[in-house]
Amino acid sequence: MNWRVVTASEVGTSHVQTNAPCQDSCWAQVYELAPGIPLLSIFVADGAGSAARGGDGAELAIQAAVDFLTEKIAEREFGLNDLLATDMVVAIRTQIFRAADAAGLTGRDFSCTFLGLLSSPLGTLAFQIGDGGIVIDAGDGLELAIVPMSGEYANMTSFITDENAVEVLLTKAYVNQATLAAVFSDGIQRIALNMATNTPHEPFFAPFFKTLKSTTDEQEDQLQGLLAKFLASPQVNERTDDDKTLALAVRL
């Protein structure tokens, strides 16, 4: 439905050393809202390293977001606006806290960041709690939709399980459909962004988008493996020891 999408997550070297699994989770799918009206959806969650079940929290967050969006699409009536983002965050929190209660744990034990991007011919909505980034081209060139959240100290950020999650949720709406999109966890934040200016590092993204545009349908199945190989490469691991997730989309 006129989008080419690829995603990959790779465990960070710090987790490899401790035999810990990747705590990132992601989702990318193109739905059909109506004949000829596609909806691109991308969700990325990063489990907090300090949380006992952060990786589980990230998986729960993605699944809850997908369930929420699927229900909204079935209803056929929703807008790409702040209310939708807020309602999705509330739905995610409900699922996580329900799982925490069932396990005899607290929501904090499932802490994770959450980033979402929805784009259709009716407009585009980016929303985020925590670090990581959403980069899109909605008609004015590549831009960072929302500045990654940072805390008082290094490596601190906000999580969807925080008491004030709804209050710190940031959104940005665009009237146009995106043509290029990338959503990523903080593991590649300093590679993909110019942190001094909070702008995309365009030489990082250009080869990815060029490849997606030029890939044939027959080659499309190879994209995920190639992206995963890049994320696990020495050139990336030399610059970050964190888990890494990157979701890319190009409108054809």
- Tell me which residue has tokens 């490899």: 16
* Cβ–Cβ < 8 Å for 51, 119: no
Summarize the confidence of residues 35-48 as an average pLDDT.
96
pLDDT at 149: 94
pLDDT at 227 over 70: yes
pTM above 0.85, yes or no: yes
Q: What's the mean per-residue pLDDT of the chain?
A: 95
Q: How far apart are CA 193 and CA 142, in angstroms?
A: 11
Which has more pLDDT, 245 or 20?
A: 245
Neighbouring-strand partners of residue 7: 247
CA dihedral 146, 225, 20, 59 (to 10 degrees): 50
Q: Report which residue type is found at 209.
A: F
Secondary structure of the chain in HEC code, one letter for each residue: CCEEEEEEEECCHHHHHCCCCCCEEEEEEEEEEECCEEEEEEEEEEECCCCCCHHHHHHHHHHHHHHHHHHHHHHCCCCCCHHHHHHHHHHHHHHHHHHHHHCCCCHHHHCEEEEEEEEECCEEEEEEECCCEEEEECCCCEEECCCCCCCCCCCCCCCCCCCCHHHHCEEEEECCCCCEEEEECHHHHHHHEECCCCEECHHHHHHHHHHHHHCCCCCHHHHHHHHHHHHCCHHHHCCCCCCEEEEEEEEC
Q: What are the pLDDT digits (tens) for 46-92?
A: 999 889 999 999 999 999 999 999 999 998 878 999 999 999 999 99
pLDDT at 152: 59
Q: What are the pLDDT digits (tens) for 136-182?
A: 999 999 999 999 998 655 578 999 999 999 999 999 999 999 999 99
pLDDT at 1 over 80: no
Give percent above pLDDT 90 in the chain.
88
237: burial class by Cβ within 10 Å (0-12, 13-18, 19+)? middle
What the block records as the tokens of 41 is 């959806």
Query: Using CA of residue 131, residue 61, residue 10, residue 124, what is the dihedral sign?
Result: negative
Contacts of 190 (CB under 8 A, 6+ apart): 239, 240
Q: What are the pLDDT digits (tens) for 103-120?
A: 999 999 999 999 999 999
* Cβ–Cβ < 8 Å for 222, 166: no
pLDDT at 189: 95
What the block records as the tokens of 206 is 């250009």
pLDDT at 146: 98
Contacts of 33 (CB under 8 A, 6+ apart): 39, 73, 76, 120
